[in-house]
Amino acid sequence: MGKANLDGLYFTVFSAKFTVGTFISDVINFIIMAFVVFLLVKIINRLTHRAKPAPAAPSAEETYLKEIRDMLAAQTHQND
């Protein structure tokens, strides 16, 4: 597969010659490579996607703290 040769591409302003062919070629190559890397990362992430584990049951400490919170809330409602 051949590579497009943009080296001869230039423009002139007054008597100054600006060669932009190599720059445009490099920009196009960069965009193509960035797109390929993006697709590879996306495919790898899809293949290695793991299901999220189910949330663990609350620990005994959390259960006791919730009970204390509920009892305190009940006491404040009785005092009102």
Secondary structure class of 11 (helix, strand, coil): strand
CA distance 6 to 22: 6
Question: What would the pLDDT profile of 8-31 be if each residue is shown by its tens digit?
Answer: 787 888 888 888 888 888 899 999
pLDDT at 37: 98
**Residue 25 amino acid letter:** S
Record the tokens describing residue 70, joined without a space. 């509920």
Give per-residue pLDDT as tens, 37-49: 999 999 999 888 7
Cα→Cα distances 40→36, 43, 54, 55, Å: 6, 5, 29, 31
pTM: 0.52
